[in-house]
Amino acid sequence: MRLATLLAFLRPALPLILGLSLGCSLSLLRVSWIQSDGEDTCMDTGVNNGLFAGKMQQDTVPGGRSSQNDEDFKPRIVPYYRDPNKPYKKVLRTRYIQTELGFHERLFVAVLTSKATMNTLAVAVNKTVAHHFPHLLYFTGLRSAKVPHGMALVSHGDERPVWLMYETMRYIHQHFGGDYDWFYVMQDDTYAQAEQIKALVTHLSINQDVYLGRAEEFIGGDEQARYCHGGFGYLVSRSLLLKLHQHLDSCRNEILSVRPDEWLGRCIIDFLGISCISQHQGQHYRSYELAKNADLEKEEGEDFQVALTVHPVSEGTLMYRLHKHFSRIQLDRAYQEIQQLQMQIRNLTSLTPAREGGLTWPIGINAPFVPKSRFEVISWDYFTEQHLFSCPDGSPKCELAGASKADVSDIIEAALQHLNSRYQPQLRFYKQQLLNGYRRFDPTRGMEYMLDLLLEAVTQKGHSHVLAKRVSLVRPLSKVEIIPMPYVTEATRVQLVLPLTVQEVDFVSNFLDTFAMNTLDTHDNALLTLLFIYQPYDAQRVSQLDVFAGVKAMVGELEKRYAEVKIPWISVKTEVPSQVKLMDIVSKKHPVDTLFFLASVWTEVNTEFLNRCRMNTISNWQVFFPMHFQEFNPVLMYHGEQASSSSTDFLRDGHFDRHAFAEACFYNSDYMAARTKLAADILDRDEVLESMEVFDVFLRYSGLHLFRAVEPGLVQKYMLRSCNPRLSEELYHRCVLSNLEGLSSRSHLAMALFEQEQANST
Mind listing the pLDDT tens digit for each residue in 231-252?
Answer: 999 999 999 999 999 999 999 9
pLDDT > 50? residue 54: no
pLDDT above 70: percentage of residues in the chain:
85
Mean pLDDT of the chain: 82
pLDDT tens, position by position, 616-636? 999 888 999 998 888 888 777
37 φ/ψ angles, rounded to the nearest 5 degrees: -85, 0
The one-character DSSP state at 30 is H
Give the whole-angstrom CA distance, residue 131 versus residue 201.
18
Task: Determine how many CB atoms are found less than 10 A away from the CB of residue 324.
Answer: 12
Comparing 292-296, 543-547, 602-606, 699-703, the range with the smallest average pLDDT is 292-296
pLDDT > 80? residue 58: no
- The pLDDT value recorded for residue 159 is 86
Q: What is the mean pLDDT of residues 264-293?
A: 91
pLDDT > 90? residue 111: yes
- The pLDDT value recorded for residue 324 is 92
Give the dihedral sign, CA 692/696/701/702.
Answer: positive
pTM (2 d.p.)? 0.59
pLDDT above 90: percentage of residues in the chain:
33
Q: What is the mean pLDDT of residues 195-199?
A: 92
Give the whole-angstrom CA distance, residue 676 versus residue 702.
10
- The pLDDT value recorded for residue 178 is 85
- The pLDDT value recorded for residue 52 is 33
The answer to whether residues 266 and 226 touch, using CB atoms and an 8 Å cutoff, is no
pLDDT > 80? residue 402: yes
- The pLDDT value recorded for residue 220 is 67
- The pLDDT value recorded for residue 575 is 78
Residue ranges with strand state E in 199-312: 211-213, 215-217, 226-228, 234-237, 279-280, 283-284, 287-289, 309-311
Q: What is the mean pLDDT of residues 520-538?
A: 88
pLDDT > 70? residue 745: yes
Nearest by Cα to 274 from 107, 58, 68? 68
pLDDT > 60? residue 177: yes
pLDDT > 80? residue 562: yes
pLDDT tens, position by position, 360-379? 888 888 888 888 888 889 99
pLDDT higher for 484 or 492? 492
Nearest by Cα to 689 from 551, 577, 540, 555? 577
Report the range out of 91-100, 553-562, 676-685, 687-696 with the highest average pLDDT. Answer: 553-562
